[in-house]
Chains A and B, each alone.
Chain A
């Protein structure tokens, strides 16, 4: 309940923040939304000597369409995504996702960037970003890097983010016409991790065939999972029920869940199969509109 003592640093620019990171190394921790770090510190499972509060760095909070991409700033809060008109109209899948993250108070502080940088397979945005083929923009001592999302998640709680880097932007290619996506999550209650969740994004061509397919899985493996087999299977096919069921089956085979209080591994695989089918169906339906 009571966190250990730490020194508080409040940079007002990115270079300042990175300088602090270099200076204090792994003694320091970035404080962005703080909605996972602070509870950890309160239970004294985390005890950084320095907290670098980046919340006062200007110009990192935005949602905009620019040169073929949707760009989300590194300090953009979940609540901002949830209520953004662009998101609601063009990226219902992101709205779906933001809406089921934690609870309203947490979403007012929590950031998308942190949700990704955390590298937790149970977080919701990773699957969605995998489905959307997003890119993570990081800024560090050596300058800016643009990392394709499928290269971002290394292993459990480990990402491609370097110790002296900060996630400054997320870029999502604007989907062509006749695209749609959906995120479906089963949680024990509002605010819980997903028992399992599936993100699906599809683009249909004129004949109603799946041109592009993106499928991401939440909390069913050591990292967020891109269901490549299912994607490949569906590409070039008409998304009728039988086909979607088969794709869902493939997706569930790509899941590698382990048992916990949310249920046994077999159940979670079954859940992926069902949620994948439903998410794909909704994505196709939205793409048709």
Chain B
């Protein structure tokens, strides 16, 4: 790839972010900042019970309160056939409860008032009569005959949602029969929540004069959401405009459609006034898309020397009250079948069963490409357990089983085609950076002194950038993505994409792609996303798909423009296209570099001096359908010290070596990795949405859903190797999720490693001080 100058700022330049200027001045425009004339406020009334019969909803008192404009109930919505809405995964979800409630904090009624304060007062006046029902919280009991059937609306009178399997069962079972060594681990990836700092919300604005509905909403996928509103609400799609303004973090939380959005729309249609609905934090944690809740068992079969022969995985997936997983329709367990990891072995079999419980719905991809985090965690844990059983160093075992570089593209036993990789290179760099050998020595000495120190390694492989349209769609919509570039007469440009940044820095990185391909300085390129009236259609930003898909679309669109520019350049230089060479920013005559035309000259000519037979203007659109997914990877190594007295785990060092192919903006990539590692840390040690036996949410506010502060967060050491994707136009792979996918195993492996000499093989996340202390007590380390 040609290197551009810092002035142009193409690929590989750490240029400062274009979006920052407004944010550092407090001039961002988030949904709650949207203020429209005549705007009113909506507030949800929610169920305190996890499972209860809805006997009556009395809205009279609430309606009598001055300033209250409407109180909408499930019965009201039922009249408009809107009491239920489809989820993104072949299920339906109650917008407002009718009949019964299925999880604590489920939406029961929607109050609309002149201001927030009145709406909150009125919500308290809505009288709801419940009859409590037996509660199902343990997914393992979901299919017990004794358990209540939760979903009376379904044909099938069972709490079982789906069974999904992939791989060659008989060959795998055979490999296990013949195996010299078998290792297994049962690991629960606890239910957690992305908790972006901005909660979900919207302003629905129906203009009765024009018949146009504008919805400003916290949406990671505005175009898909517009289509769903059209299909579900029966509103002509051209009359719906979805605008995603600045978004205060998404991490998957802002992919689904939530009842609050629908209620705000219904209220605006009814009242003809703009209706704002903004979640509180507790509502966000207790009712919107959770992640994980995978109860997994992995078994590895291997030879004595550590060569892995087979993997067998059985998983129970807790989806809560509705299957609101936001994932490709052909994949009920997302891309969980990436669970074979970075290792080369012939046999694998993986099965997943999904069940309903009385918990909030979801199963969204929390900073992860559809269950890839669960998969990476499981295999990296399993490999460590195998290393323990073999009394082998986990690094040695990994190296022995890595897919060799000459095997790419590699066909995995569960059917994926890994595009490219050099796992050993990333591993070796990480080992050198952290000084692995010396640390192992230190560990031995410490153990002799009775001190606890551990080293955790994770060599993860991701699968991102969904996806080839033939295999990937969400709710039927194919997972391509788009870019539209217009070059203005003065050589400046505007680009619009089907994706939507939530902090990833698209306004900067997409501009750098244009700069790379056309030589127009990134500073001269404006990037716009999130307005469905102006941006080309796309599936949005999640699953690390922006760079792999829309980024590719941007490059291809730019190349279309360059093709046309070449014709114009030839016309201006009075030569044939064949005589021209390109360097970022200009075409010049082969052998006569002084005879050249800059992209700016060409842009001007595109509107002022067009060659015969060529249409005016300089713009292009591309809808990119990736030939394959991309497979970012890396090796993370974590060093922990354990305080025997308190059970506290201190992360002493953490080295992250990532390989995301060619890098657009190293500064932004590092920022993404810092953030993802911090979320991984939180998942490994702090974050959990738990439920007690009555279905009460434990961890339903920031009091008990623990997000690390700067004090708990260690200093992250990052580095890179570069193995470009062979099929991506820029050789890029995407990186936003790698650190969150790869790090939990590194943390847990480190803690288990520190305790392995005591016979510890696994500890479930979140690894709290009391869990560690309990282990130490069991093992007689503390009295």
Interface residues of A, Cβ cutoff 8 Å to B: 1-2, 4-5, 44, 103, 186, 188-192, 195, 261-264, 266-267, 270-271, 274-275, 277-278
Q: How far is the CB of A128 from chain B (nearest CB, A)?
A: 20
- The chain A residue with its CB closest to the CB of B770 is A263
Kindly state whether residue B609 has any CB partner on chain A within 8 Å: no
Do A262 and B770 touch (CB < 8 A)? Answer: yes
Q: How far is the CB of A240 from chain B (nearest CB, A)?
A: 18
Task: Name the residue in A2, A190, A191, A262 with the highest tally of chain B Cβ atoms < 10 Å from its Cβ.
Answer: A2
Interface members, chain B 697-728 (any A CB < 8 Å): 698-699, 704, 706-709, 711-712
Contact partner of A2 (CB less than 8 A), chosen from B116, B645, B706, B774, is B116
Do B768 and A4 touch (CB < 8 A)? Answer: no
Per-residue A-contact encoding for B42-78, CB less than 8 Å = 1, 0 else: 0000000000000000000000000000000000000
Per-residue A-contact encoding for B273-293, CB less than 8 Å = 1, 0 else: 000000010000000000000
Q: Which residues of B contact A189 (CB under 8 A)?
A: 686, 706-709, 711-712
Kindly state whether residue B86 has any CB partner on chain A within 8 Å: no
Do A192 and B646 touch (CB < 8 A)? Answer: no
Q: How far is the CB of A41 from chain B (nearest CB, A)?
A: 12
Provided the pairs A1-B280, A44-B124, A267-B773 are in contact, do residues A186 and B712 lie with their beta carbons within 8 angstroms?
no
Query: In the complex, what distance in Å separates the CA atom of A103 from the CA atom of B768?
Result: 21
Q: Which residues of A contact B686 (CB under 8 A)?
A: 188-189
Do A261 and B646 touch (CB < 8 A)? Answer: no
Task: Name the residue in B648, B707, B773 with the highest tally of chain A Cβ atoms < 10 Å from its Cβ.
Answer: B773
Nearest first, the 5 closest Cβ-Cβ pairs linking A and B are A263-B770, A2-B120, A274-B645, A267-B770, A1-B280
Kindly state whether residue B117 has any CB partner on chain A within 8 Å: yes
Do A274 and B646 touch (CB < 8 A)? Answer: yes
Q: Which residues of B contact A263 (CB under 8 A)?
A: 768-770, 773
Do B768 and A271 touch (CB < 8 A)? Answer: no
Query: In the complex, what distance in Å separates the CA atom of A1 from the CA atom of B283?
Result: 10
Query: In the complex, what distance in Å separates the CA atom of A191 from the CA atom of B712?
Result: 11
The A interface is mostly helix, strand or loop, or mixed, namely loop
Contact partner of B709 (CB less than 8 A), chosen from A1, A190, A267, is A190
Q: How far is the CB of B765 from chain A (nearest CB, A)?
A: 14
- The chain B residue with its CB closest to the CB of A268 is B770
Interface residues of B, Cβ cutoff 8 Å to A: 116-117, 119-121, 124, 280, 645-648, 686, 698-699, 704, 706-709, 711-712, 768-770, 773-774, 777, 782
Query: In the complex, what distance in Å separates the CA atom of A191 from the CA atom of B777?
Result: 28
Q: Name 6 extra pairs, CB < 8 A, besides A188-B768, A189-B706.
A: A1-B280, A2-B117, A190-B709, A195-B769, A270-B773, A277-B645
Q: Which residues of A contact B769 (CB under 8 A)?
A: 186, 195, 263, 267
Query: In the complex, what distance in Å separates the CA atom of A261 from the CA atom of B119?
Result: 33
Do A271 and B646 touch (CB < 8 A)? Answer: yes
Query: In the complex, what distance in Å separates the CA atom of A275 from the CA atom of B706?
Result: 23
Q: Which residues of B contact A5 (CB under 8 A)?
A: 121
Task: Name the residue in B646, B704, B709 with the highest tally of chain A Cβ atoms < 10 Å from its Cβ.
Answer: B646
Q: Which residues of B contact A188 (CB under 8 A)?
A: 686, 706, 768
Contact partner of A191 (CB less than 8 A), chosen from B119, B648, B709, B768, is B709
Query: In the complex, what distance in Å separates the CA atom of A277 from the CA atom of B712?
Result: 24
Do B774 and A267 touch (CB < 8 A)? Answer: yes
Q: How far is the CB of B648 from chain A (nearest CB, A)?
A: 7
Query: In the complex, what distance in Å separates the CA atom of A278 from the CA atom of B712?
Result: 21
- The chain B residue with its CB closest to the CB of A186 is B646
Q: Which residues of B contact A266 (CB under 8 A)?
A: 777
Do A261 and B647 touch (CB < 8 A)? Answer: no
Provided the pairs A188-B768, A191-B709, A192-B706 are in contact, do residues A261 and B120 lie with their beta carbons within 8 angstroms?
no
Query: In the complex, what distance in Å separates the CA atom of A278 from the CA atom of B774?
Result: 20
Query: In the complex, what distance in Å separates the CA atom of A188 from the CA atom of B649?
Result: 11
Query: In the complex, what distance in Å separates the CA atom of A262 from the CA atom of B645?
Result: 16
Do B704 and A261 touch (CB < 8 A)? Answer: yes
Query: In the complex, what distance in Å separates the CA atom of A186 from the CA atom of B648?
Result: 9
Q: Which residues of B contact A275 (CB under 8 A)?
A: 646
Q: How far is the CB of A246 from chain B (nearest CB, A)?
A: 13
Q: Which residues of B contact A4 (CB under 8 A)?
A: 121
- The chain A residue with its CB closest to the CB of B776 is A270
Do B712 and A190 touch (CB < 8 A)? Answer: yes
Do B770 and A278 touch (CB < 8 A)? Answer: no
Q: How far is the CB of B774 from chain A (nearest CB, A)?
A: 7
Q: Which residues of A contact B646 (CB under 8 A)?
A: 186, 271, 274-275
Query: In the complex, what distance in Å separates the CA atom of A195 from the CA atom of B280?
Result: 27
Q: How far is the CB of A37 from chain B (nearest CB, A)?
A: 15
Query: In the complex, what distance in Å separates the CA atom of A79 from the CA atom of B602?
Result: 63
- The chain B residue with its CB closest to the CB of A261 is B704
Q: How far is the CB of A139 from chain B (nearest CB, A)?
A: 33
Q: How far is the CB of B143 from chain A (nearest CB, A)?
A: 29
Q: Which residues of A contact B768 (CB under 8 A)?
A: 188, 263
- The chain A residue with its CB closest to the CB of B711 is A190
Q: Which residues of A contact B707 (CB under 8 A)?
A: 189
Q: How far is the CB of B656 from chain A (nearest CB, A)?
A: 22
Provided the pairs A2-B117, A189-B706 are in contact, do residues A264 and B770 lie with their beta carbons within 8 angstroms?
yes
Q: Which residues of B contact A192 (CB under 8 A)?
A: 706
Query: In the complex, what distance in Å separates the CA atom of A44 from the CA atom of B123?
Result: 12
Q: Which residues of A contact B647 (CB under 8 A)?
A: 267
Q: How far is the CB of B379 from chain A (nearest CB, A)?
A: 29
Query: In the complex, what distance in Å separates the CA atom of A44 from the CA atom of B648?
Result: 35
Task: Name the residue in B119, B647, B707 with the highest tally of chain A Cβ atoms < 10 Å from its Cβ.
Answer: B647
Task: Name the residue in A5, A190, A263, A270 with the highest tally of chain B Cβ atoms < 10 Å from its Cβ.
Answer: A270
Query: In the complex, what distance in Å separates the CA atom of A166 from the CA atom of B190?
Result: 46
Query: In the complex, what distance in Å separates the CA atom of A275 from the CA atom of B686?
Result: 22
Contact partner of B698 (CB less than 8 A), chosen from A186, A261, A274, is A261
Query: In the complex, what distance in Å separates the CA atom of A263 from the CA atom of B648?
Result: 13
Q: How far is the CB of B125 from chain A (nearest CB, A)?
A: 12
Query: In the complex, what distance in Å separates the CA atom of A264 from the CA atom of B773?
Result: 11
Q: How far is the CB of A120 from chain B (nearest CB, A)?
A: 14
Query: In the complex, what distance in Å separates the CA atom of A69 from the CA atom of B770?
Result: 40
Q: Which residues of A contact B699 (CB under 8 A)?
A: 261
Q: Which residues of A contact B698 (CB under 8 A)?
A: 261
Q: Which residues of A contact B712 (CB under 8 A)?
A: 189-190
- The chain A residue with its CB closest to the CB of B709 is A190
Query: In the complex, what distance in Å separates the CA atom of A270 from the CA atom of B120?
Result: 45
Query: In the complex, what distance in Å separates the CA atom of A271 from the CA atom of B648?
Result: 11
Query: In the complex, what distance in Å separates the CA atom of A153 from the CA atom of B709?
Result: 32
Query: In the complex, what distance in Å separates the CA atom of A275 from the CA atom of B709?
Result: 23
- The chain A residue with its CB closest to the CB of B704 is A261
- The chain A residue with its CB closest to the CB of B702 is A191
Q: What are 11 inter-chain pairs, A to B, with CB distance below 8 A?
A: A1-B280, A2-B119, A2-B120, A5-B121, A186-B646, A189-B708, A189-B711, A264-B774, A267-B647, A270-B773, A274-B646
Query: In the complex, what distance in Å separates the CA atom of A103 from the CA atom of B710?
Result: 12
Q: Which residues of A contact B770 (CB under 8 A)?
A: 195, 262-264, 267
Query: In the complex, what distance in Å separates the CA atom of A263 from the CA atom of B711?
Result: 22
Query: In the complex, what distance in Å separates the CA atom of A266 from the CA atom of B777?
Result: 10
Q: How far is the CB of A195 from chain B (nearest CB, A)?
A: 7
- The chain B residue with its CB closest to the CB of A259 is B770
